[in-house]
Structure 1
Amino acid sequence: MVAKAARRLWWRAIYAREARLNAELERHAGAEGCFAWFLSQADADRARRDLDITHGAVLPLFFPLGSDPVRASVDYDIGLIGTWSWPPVREGMTWFLEHVVPRLPPEMSIAVAGAGSEALPEGRIRRLGLVPDARAFLAGVRVAAVPTIAGTGIQIKTLELAATGTPAVSTRLGVRGLDVVPDSLRVAETPENFAAALVEAVRHPRTHNPEVGWAWNEARRRAAVTMIADALAGL
């Protein structure tokens, strides 16, 4: 999926090679193991189909939260954070800048934090580069945007947004692996719907609700611990 989404020929070749090498390792691991854990249902389905792994389970992933929630004054309407120099993440930013941002009202402020953000095109966005505290940055936006359009596996950024109760708008691919999507996360696929959801979140903001996020995250942590204990007891 990552290889197909890459815009540059050499990146497609590199990702395709990595996919072939990983597939070979997975086949060896599947043949030797008697039980497997998966990070998403899609991974489990592919393993059963391609690797003939019939004994396994999908872990409900959670985020390792600190003891105290982070609270901050609102500095920006819309915030994005990530490693923007990583091509699959950059693809999502390109989609956001080209197709979503032109549909947003000009008065809405957009801040982008993280490695590589300083190299993004100038214009509507404020490029912050690396920030000292990612959670403090997210606590200071009315809504976070997750414009993921490429990649596989679980997105740690989405887990953190859900676990901290941060209002966010994500593509369907951005919430991959979450069997339960919390109310704080809205899913929008098209640029029109994505922009509309962001506008709605800014004009009718929901409060950051770390207590609800903590409860969602803790339920997943307990479920994961129970599943691991049951599997180990069975082995």
Structure 2
Amino acid sequence: MHLLFATSIVPDGTLGSGYEIANATIIDALRRAGVRVTVLGFAWPGQPPDDPENTIVLGEVDVRTEGASSFRKVAWLVKAMFSGLTYSSVKLRVVSPDTVRRAIADAGPFDAYILNSVQFAGAFDGLFDDRPCIFIDHNVEHASAQENARAAGGNFQRYLYRREARLLKALEARLCRKARFVFTLAEEDRAILGVASDDRSLALPLVVHRKAPSPGERAIEYDAALIGTWTWQPNRIGLEWFLNEVVPNLPNDFSIRIAGHVPAGIGSSHPGVKFVGHVPDADAFVLGASIIPLVSRTGTGVQIKTIETFELGLPSVATTDALRSIDYRPENCTVTDDPEAFAMALQLAAAGALHDTDGSAFHRYQRAVLDDRIRRGLAALGHAKQAVPA
């Protein structure tokens, strides 16, 4: 079986975000199931695909709102309003539908589409109706937009998020109806999308590393470390909760390092908090911490940083939301949603109350369930080949 994996951004091997990590994990699992996968989509500027022989690149595009010029933001907004597209999809309309149609034809004979998230499918709606498809919803996008609307600081921003939520809800419903099968990344998302039956959908557990990391001695440089795409609104909400509600309960000598681009308006007066920006090696950064705070407070989908922490076997203190759709919880993870209890758990863990564990059992569990559910989803397309060796 040959599948065309239609996505906004093609994998380039950098794995710089949770979206990119999830894409690489899912594509690997599809290939382990014995199918041929050709990827179709856009590349980040200056980033060639990591598998050029099996990738069709439509061009380069930077879809990040944070850092875009005011002119570009206004252009996206005006184009979205006049086209009826979502703000997230209109950013991909840098080529015409005919260009995409020709690229699909260039993929050669294939059996079905994998429609990866709503942005690309929404930007070129109607071009993927000639074959069966599987739809992958990384997050319930309309629910995230509704949460963003509730958290918005002004009436115009609230209106834009509500518009986005309305369009996304209709688009997600249409894609779910059209798909032979739906994959989500969180168990809870299946019911929100109205596809909770196991013959319609399954939630995919993910892995971050292709092989389970080997446990070893670590050099501790700071008490706690957080890393993430903080410009994404659900992540920002979690970080703001941590800085505003948890950190004031920590002693001044408790050291915290926060990696990743932090949007304007976020900061902390706590003397132990330092924002370090981009780090070249995410694993090395978190391995330098005694404890990992997992601070998600909202959103849908799965928290990639939770999975990475558990694979590395690192001690953690997590909110309930940070564990959504994670069935396997290691013994060195403390769970609380109370800010004072969260701060106390961080201090106890940093003082040695929690220890490193071997994360390979978690990794094996996640990958085994992932491979099984991928094969069950592919069966809806008529694929029954034996899995290929990993």
TM-score normalized with structure 2 length: 0.54
Moved more, 218-227 or 16-25: 16-25
SS of aligned partner of 2:224: strand
Note the residue ranges of structure 1 that are not aligned, 5 or more in a row: none
SS of aligned partner of 1:222: helix
SS of aligned partner of 2:183: strand
CA distance in 1, matches of 2:323, 2:362: 15
The answer to whether structure 1 residue 21 and structure 2 residue 164 are counterparts is no
CA contact (8 A) 1:5 1:88 kept: no
The answer to whether structure 1 residue 8 and structure 2 residue 153 are counterparts is yes
SS of aligned partner of 2:276: strand
User: Within 5 Å, which residues of 2 pair with 1:73-84?
Assistant: 73-84=219-230
CA distance in 1, matches of 2:198, 2:239: 36
Correspondence for 1:101: 247
Correspondence for 2:319: 171
CA contact (8 A) 1:73 1:140 kept: yes
The answer to whether structure 1 residue 219 and structure 2 residue 219 are counterparts is no
Instruction: Measure how far apart 1:187 and its partner are.
Output: 1.3
> What are the superposed Cα offsets for residues 156-200 of structure 1, whole Å, 9 maximum, x if unpaired?
111111111111111111111212222232211111121121111
Correspondence for 2:206: 61
Moved more, 32-41 or 52-61: 52-61
CA distance in 2, matches of 1:53, 1:33: 14
Instruction: Identify the match of residue 345 of structure 2 among 194, 197, 213.
Output: 197
Correspondence for 2:356: 208
The answer to whether structure 1 residue 159 and structure 2 residue 307 are counterparts is yes
Correspondence for 2:188: 42
CA contact (8 A) 2:212 2:359 kept: no
Amino acid aligned to 2:237: E
Instruction: Identify the match of residue 228 of structure 1 among 370, 374, 384.
Output: 374
Point out the structure with the larger helix share: 1
Instruction: Identify the match of residue 138 of structure 1 among 281, 286, 290.
Output: 286
Moved more, 124-133 or 33-42: 33-42
CA distance in 1, matches of 2:302, 2:324: 6
SS of aligned partner of 1:77: strand
Amino acid aligned to 1:29: L
Work out which of the two has the higher radius of gyration on C-alpha atoms and give 1 or 2. 2
Correspondence for 2:29: none
Note the residue ranges of structure 2 that are not aligned, 5 or more in a row: 1-143, 383-390
> What are the superposed Cα offsets for residues 110-131 of structure 1, whole Å, 9 maximum, x if unpaired?
1111112797425321121111
Correspondence for 1:188: 336
SS of aligned partner of 1:204: helix
Instruction: Measure how far apart 1:64 and its partner are.
Output: 2.8
Change (3 A) 1:117 1:179: same
Q: Which has the higher contact order (CA 8 A, sep 6+)?
A: 1
CA contact (8 A) 1:72 1:136 kept: no
Question: Identical aligned pairs, as a percentage?
Answer: 33
Correspondence for 2:4: none
SS of aligned partner of 2:340: helix
CA distance in 1, matches of 2:197, 2:369: 26
Moved more, 115-124 or 218-227: 115-124
Change (3 A) 1:98 1:122: closer
SS of aligned partner of 1:13: helix
CA distance in 1, matches of 2:335, 2:161: 27
Instruction: Measure how far apart 1:87 and its partner are.
Output: 2.9
Aligned-residue CA RMSD in angstroms?
2.6
Amino acid aligned to 2:291: V
TM-score normalized with structure 1 length: 0.86
CA distance in 2, matches of 1:192, 1:4: 28
Instruction: Measure how far apart 1:135 and its partner are.
Output: 0.7
Moved more, 133-142 or 154-163: 154-163
